[in-house]
Chains A and B, each alone.
Chain A
Amino acid sequence: MSPRLLRRLPPFVLAGLFLAGWQALHHALPAGRRFLFPSLPQLAGAFRVHGAALLDAAGQTALASLGGFALAAVVAVGASLLLASSTLVRQALYPYLMGLQMVPVIIVAPILILWVGPGAPSVIIVTFLITFFPLVVNTTQGLLSVDQGHLDLFRMGRAARWQELLLLRAPAALPYFFTGLRIAAILAPIGALTADYLVGSTTGGRSGLGIMALLFSARNEIPALYATAVVGCALGFALVALVSGLAWIVLHRWHESYSPSDS
């Protein structure tokens, strides 16, 4: 076997071991408790029965994740520009930002239902609330973390404030922004799923994964509940992959985190 092939093997071996372990765990349980941890064939069965519904729900949750995520990214960039503009603004606004992150979703949920009613807009708002903080904190940090030599260069060049912001601070903040985006990408599907569970709606028969989880647990369909978890997980991976791809496109040519040797 070629060494190249050998290097690619470990992830597959591990995946095989994982599936075998899963199956073994199912059989290790006493017969009366096995329903708590479905076997792989049971899981496959759940996918066969509910696959189409799950896929549709995943689409709904994906849209809500992306919506909340995109909204958070746009607002965070604006807020970061404001926060980076002065220490005074930063000190004054920071507690409120922290507050925004600390209000428990479970308390915001009923308020949101009163304000905007159940459904997609509420789900997007909750997702926004969960993903906003890491984005704004990282982006602000990036706008402030500018090399002193570069600042001197711009001052020597008699740069206007907007030039310094646009041509120096904004590009310097890009790697930080993408760090925030990566964290937000992990949080967004969890947020959208939780939000769907709390403030989602089944109106028009279009529900997200949170509502599906609610339904399956009410009907005691354990394998289907596991299948929902797997789909939610896949959604998270997809979003992270999307963000990583974007980061690569923007940063790989110049940023040191993408060294030319390991491309």
Chain B
Amino acid sequence: MTPPPLLHCQALAKRFAATGPAVLGPLDLAVAPGEFVSILGPSGCGKSTLLRLVSGLLAPSGGALTVAGRPPGALDDLAYVFQDATLLPWLRVDANVETLLRLRHVPSAERVRRRDAALGLVRLAEKARAYPRQLSGGQRMRVSLARALALEPRVLLLDEPFGALDEMTRDHLGEELLAIHARQAWTALFVTHSVAEAVFLSSRILVLAPHPGRIAHDLPVELPYPRNQDTRRAPDYLRLVAEVSARLRAVEPAEASAA
């Protein structure tokens, strides 16, 4: 028996002006608990819009969207990781990780427990007293991830979180993210531009097509977890990367692929 979907979109649509063209949808999607879903697509296909709709930052123009059976604005345990680390530069790492808990008035003892657990997960406990500017780009992103994990979310929304990092750091963080995912039960929606990253991380890949944004392909990634360095050399992995790349190229508008 399949579990009920954690995230459920029915004919979800978004237009920014009342009379303007649809940016996204109508789009149907069901994501089960624990899935790691990557979203790929050319720019302008509404990837970030979809994430913002799920987060409740944007209100849909049409259709229905529920997270754990409730409208997204009401759900508390949903966390967002942005492309930039967006750490508050005037706070030390530990206080940064606590920021969102503080906004939600989590009692101090509980705040400390969750903070230390989250910093442990991203292996940055020893940097708790550092200021963000003393960290490398990869470390900052790990703090940002810890801040989201401290919410103990059921759904983790990641908007190109490793996009600004070098490839080595990026691969490394991907592996860490999977290791954390293996220990915790959250569901991930991961927006990325990198096909290789999407295949490596995900249990499922959505390829979006633009104008308006819609799901062109919904592909399962049947590579066994845990995945590691060897995964990146496995024939199945390489075949999937090639296949997803081809599908992505097919939905790119002609002028974009020529550029």
> A217 contacts the other chain (Cβ, under 8 Å)?
no
Interface centre among B99, B104, B131, B132 (most CB of A within 10 A): B99
Residues of A within 8 Å of B132, CB to CB, are 254
A159 to B100, CA, bound (A): 9
Q: Which one of B28-36, B85-93, B218-226, B241-249 is at the interface?
A: B85-93
Q: Interface of chain A, helix or strand or loop or mixed?
A: helix
> A219 contacts the other chain (Cβ, under 8 Å)?
no
CB of A11, distance to nearest CB on chain B (Å):
30
On whether the beta carbons of A256 and B133 are closer than 8 Å, the reply is yes
CB of A118, distance to nearest CB on chain B (Å):
44
> A145 contacts the other chain (Cβ, under 8 Å)?
no
On whether the beta carbons of B89 and A255 are closer than 8 Å, the reply is yes
CB of B156, distance to nearest CB on chain A (Å):
12
Q: Which one of A98-106, A147-155, A189-197 is at the interface?
A: A147-155
Can you list, as one digit per residue, whether each of B93-117 has a CB less than 8 Å from chain A (1) or not (0)? 0000001101110000000000000
Can you list, as one digit per residue, whether each of A136-161 has a CB less than 8 Å from chain B (1) or not (0)? 00000000000101101111111100
> B237 contacts the other chain (Cβ, under 8 Å)?
no
> B152 contacts the other chain (Cβ, under 8 Å)?
no
On whether the beta carbons of A147 and B99 are closer than 8 Å, the reply is no
Size category, B interface:
20 to 34
CB of A164, distance to nearest CB on chain B (Å):
9
Select B103's contact among A150, A154, A172, A174, beta carbons within 8 Å. A154
Select A171's contact among B88, B100, B104, beta carbons within 8 Å. B88
> A260 contacts the other chain (Cβ, under 8 Å)?
yes
Select A150's contact among B79, B88, B104, B134, beta carbons within 8 Å. B88
A158-B103, A254-B133 known; A153-B86 Cβ under 8 A: yes
Can you list, as one digit per residue, whether each of A77-118 has a CB less than 8 Å from chain B (1) or not (0)? 000000000000000000000000000000000000000000
CB of B118, distance to nearest CB on chain A (Å):
15
Residues of B within 8 Å of A202, CB to CB, are none
On whether the beta carbons of A155 and B131 are closer than 8 Å, the reply is no
A153-B86, A171-B90 known; A158-B131 Cβ under 8 A: no
Size category, A interface:
20 to 34
> A167 contacts the other chain (Cβ, under 8 Å)?
yes
A66 to B220, CA, bound (A): 69
Select B131's contact among A147, A149, A157, A253, beta carbons within 8 Å. A253
On whether the beta carbons of B99 and A152 are closer than 8 Å, the reply is no
Residues of B within 8 Å of A172, CB to CB, are 90
Interface centre among A155, A157, A172, A255 (most CB of B within 10 A): A157
> B80 contacts the other chain (Cβ, under 8 Å)?
yes
A157 to B81, CA, bound (A): 12
CB of B7, distance to nearest CB on chain A (Å):
16
On whether the beta carbons of B84 and A163 are closer than 8 Å, the reply is no
A147 to B100, CA, bound (A): 17
A259 — nearest CB in chain B belongs to which residue?
B133
> B57 contacts the other chain (Cβ, under 8 Å)?
yes
> B55 contacts the other chain (Cβ, under 8 Å)?
yes
On whether the beta carbons of A167 and B86 are closer than 8 Å, the reply is no
Can you list, as one digit per residue, whether each of B128-168 has a CB less than 8 Å from chain A (1) or not (0)? 00011110000000000000000000000000000000000
Tell me the chain B residues, 19-70 only, with Cβ under 8 Å from chain A.
55, 57
A251 — nearest CB in chain B belongs to which residue?
B90
Residues of B within 8 Å of A163, CB to CB, are 103
Residues of B within 8 Å of A174, CB to CB, are 90
A150 to B80, CA, bound (A): 12
A260 to B135, CA, bound (A): 12
A92 to B89, CA, bound (A): 33
A174 to B88, CA, bound (A): 13
Given contacts A153-B100, A254-B131, 9 further A-B contacts (CB under 8 A): A149-B82, A149-B86, A153-B99, A154-B103, A156-B57, A157-B103, A167-B99, A254-B133, A255-B90
6 example contacts (A-B, Cβ-Cβ < 8 A) are as follows A152-B86, A167-B99, A254-B90, A254-B131, A254-B132, A255-B90
Q: Which residues of A contact B (CB under 8 A)?
A: 147, 149-150, 152-159, 163, 167-168, 171-172, 174, 253-256, 260
> Sorted from nearest, which 6 A-B pairs have the closest CB atoms?
A149-B86, A157-B103, A157-B100, A171-B90, A156-B80, A254-B90
